[in-house]
Amino acid sequence: MKISVIGCGYLGAVHAACMAELGHDVVGIDVDQAKIDALSAGTAPFFEPGLPEILTSSMASGRLRFTTDMAEAQDAQVHFIAVGTPQKKGEYAADLSYVNAAVTALLPHLRDGALVVGKSTVPVGTAARLAELVASAPVDAELAWNPEFLREGFAVQDTLGPDRLVYGVPATEARDRAIALLDEVYATALARDTPRLVTDYATAELVKVSANAFLATKISFINAMAEIAEATGADVTQLADAIGHDVRIGRRFLNSGLGFGGGCLPKDIRAFRARGEELGLGSSLAFLGEVDAINLRRRDRMVELTREALGGDVTGKRVAVLGLAFKPDSDDVRDSPALDVARRLQDEGAIVLATDPEAIPTSQRVHPELHYAETVAEATTGADAVLVLTEWKQYRALEPADLAGAAGTIILDGRNCLDVDRWRGAGWTYRSLGRP
Ligand SMILES: NC(=O)c1ccc[n+]([C@@H]2O[C@H](COP(=O)([O-])OP(=O)(O)OC[C@H]3O[C@@H](n4cnc5c(N)ncnc54)[C@H](O)[C@@H]3O)[C@@H](O)[C@H]2O)c1
Ligand SMILES: O=c1ccn([C@@H]2O[C@H](COP(=O)(O)OP(=O)(O)O[C@H]3O[C@H](CO)[C@@H](O)[C@H](O)[C@H]3O)[C@@H](O)[C@H]2O)c(=O)[nH]1
């Protein structure tokens, strides 16, 4: 099938490459010339495991190409909208200007029978409005909403093998045709019995934001328990293991620490709250304000813990920060708790040297004033304290001997990911968020 993917960021570039990998003929379109140049050269514009390989194979097969020219979408039967929906400046609501612009620019290029498929995360009610815009096209075209649940770091795997497919389709006679086209797109996943839920626009939009709200709530729940654990001498990681054995609760997404960041959970819970208020249902989603507040307090506590460990004042103290990305296996630093803590410590007068296996270039772009080191050895040499803020596999595996160049023996575990006995046994002062 001929497919266009409009917006080639973390979501769209992976989606385009994976659709081509599945045998479709795909054109990826973006307004960012540099991104399109990189993708056209077969280079992934960000770090995502597995993406370079499928980009190379799909481009070599001739089934994948990239352009900034929207007219090249004209042959496609299905058009995925994968542009950004960031938080508006100074507000909680989502900025829908990119989605509106993308759909508007696509309209003159739609062919008869085309299906425009929303993938971006949007406030409930957006699809119904965009459906009217699509209906104004000079041809017979329809809109469907097909939210995406991929996780960065596992984006290729999640796109090729999603855990569920949700189709929000029109209530008109075009419904069956929209379902048939989406079934053709996802034939490989459907052949493996991937659950498929066909619903209306509003439910499809809400499935996405409520899933992220639930995940964020689960993380903030365990981080609230970490606050209580810290005050009472309990161990939040043991608590998570114990409650996680109850299958009704489950252990996943109960990792306490610095909390959630990234381009999705923080802005999605805020946009959901803002939408609730617009609907006159602010109280139904008011708890998300608390989820957000608990999450942001973790960053404050990490800065405070560093201050405490360094005798009450970080001024002039050397602090090594290991980890800048919002999570391991990604170079994404959007709303990254790690980068935020590093920056705040530097603002307080600490001499911060930060490192990350992949996220130095992305961090440098937003915080050129921070000092970066290419290796752990370089970052930790002469350090009074070492902070682990993103739980990359290589940081979890660190041994005290690897930090022999540090001046002090203070290690602060912002992700509750280190072996306490290994560090204390080697004479280090180990402190964390919620472990005694
Ligand atoms: N990143 C994820 O893991 C993920 C997962 C599921 C859903 N989402 C949702 O997908 C959407 C995209 O997220 P992202 O992380 O890929 O964002 P991103 O910022 O990485 O990518 C968005 C891309 O859209 C492009 N763009 C903007 N306006 C355009 C236009 N008019 N025409 C063509 N391209 C345009 C930008 O240049 C950019 O490359 C958001 O709504 C997000 O919430 C993201
Ligand atoms: O137990 C946990 C799990 C995650 N996190 C943090 O939560 C954030 C988000 O992690 P994760 O959800 O794995 O990453 P994303 O790639 O942002 O994926 C989320 O956001 C995407 C965009 O909407 C959705 O598609 C995914 O389903 C949803 O998991 C990161 O900062 C993690 O460090 C924790 O603090 N504790």
Q: What are phi and psi of 194, to 5 degrees?
A: -65, 130
Average pLDDT, the chain: 98
Q: Each residue of 154-193: pLDDT tens digit?
A: 999 999 999 999 999 999 889 999 999 999 999 999 999 9
Q: What is the reported pTM?
A: 0.98
Q: Each residue of 220-277: pLDDT tens digit?
A: 999 999 999 999 999 999 999 999 999 999 999 999 999 999 999 999 999 999 999 9
CB atoms within 10 A of CB 321: 34
For residues 121-150, give the mean pLDDT: 97
Amino acid at 398: L
Distance 260 CA to ligand 2 centre (A): 7
Q: Under CATH, domain 300-432 is a member of which superfamily?
A: NAD(P)-binding Rossmann-like Domain (3.40.50.720)
What percent of the chain clears pLDDT 90, i.e. is strictly above it? 99
Q: Hey, which of 5, 10, 40, 150 would you mutate to test ligand 1's pocket, going by the most ligand atoms within 8 Å of its Cβ?
A: 10
Measured from the Cα of 267, ligand 1's closest atom is: 43
Q: Each residue of 36-50: pLDDT tens digit?
A: 999 999 999 999 999
- C-alpha neighbours within 13 Å on the C-beta side of residue 218: 18
State the pLDDT at residue 172. Answer: 86
Residue 306 has pLDDT above 90, yes or no: yes
Closest Cα to residue 85, out of 177, 254, 174, 205? 205
* Ligand-binding site membership of 257 (annotated): yes
> Are domains 2-199 and 300-432 of this chain identical in fold?
yes
What residue's CA is closest to ligand 1, atom 28?
98
Q: Hey, which of 225, 265, 297, 331 would you mutate to test ligand 2's pocket, going by the most ligand atoms within 8 Å of its Cβ?
A: 265
CB atoms within 10 A of CB 246: 9
CATH number of 2-199: 3.40.50.720
Contacts of residue 434, Cβ cutoff 8 Å, sequence gap at least 6: 223, 225, 226, 227, 229, 230, 235, 236, 237, 256, 257, 416
CATH number for the 208-292 domain, one of 3.60.20.10, 1.10.150.120, 1.10.1040.10, 3.10.129.10?
1.10.1040.10
Label residue 57 by pLDDT band (50, 70, 90). Answer: very high
